[in-house]
């Protein structure tokens, strides 16, 4: 007895575009944090003004990406693997930005 796909009741779940956007944003932010760490080592911790401005933007975009990833959890018709990856990557970027900014204020 052969059953077709329609008689078995399979539902196709698609990938959430919002979750993929959050994952890509998280990867970019974490890569830029690596660049900032390399610049910090190069300048021996004395980063010029542009470093503080860049880190402020990274902080704001990490908050945006984290909220974007959390809000993508609402879509029930999509696969969840990118949703949780986006939350983790943007959460790491947020914590790195917070840590770098607190260290910058404390050592100033």
Q: What global pTM score does this model have?
A: 0.77
Tokens 């998280």 correspond to 26
The domains of the chain are located at 18-107
- pLDDT (tens, 9 = 90+) of the chain, 108 residues, equals 555 555 544 556 677 788 889 999 999 999 999 988 888 888 877 777 888 888 889 999 999 999 998 988 887 777 777 889 999 999 999 999 988 888 776 665
Gyration radius (Cα) of the chain, Å: 20
Question: Which ranges of the chain does DSSP label H, i.e. alpha helix?
Answer: 5-8, 17-42, 49-71, 81-107
Question: Do 65 and 22 form a contact (C-beta atoms < 8 A)?
Answer: yes
Q: What is the pLDDT of residue 26?
A: 94
């Amino acid at each position: 007895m052969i059953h077709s796909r329609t008689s078995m009741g399979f539902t196709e779940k698609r990938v959430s575009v919002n979750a993929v956007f959050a994952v890509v944003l998280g990867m970019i932010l974490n890569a830029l944090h690596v660049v900032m760490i390399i610049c910090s080592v190069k300048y021996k911790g004395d980063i010029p003004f542009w470093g503080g401005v860049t880190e402020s933007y990274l902080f704001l975009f990490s908050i945006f990406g984290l909220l974007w990833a959390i809000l993508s959890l609402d879509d029930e018709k999509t696969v969840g693997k990118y949703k949780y990856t986006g939350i983790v990557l943007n959460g790491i970027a947020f914590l790195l930005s917070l840590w770098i900014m607190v260290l910058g204020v404390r050592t100033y």
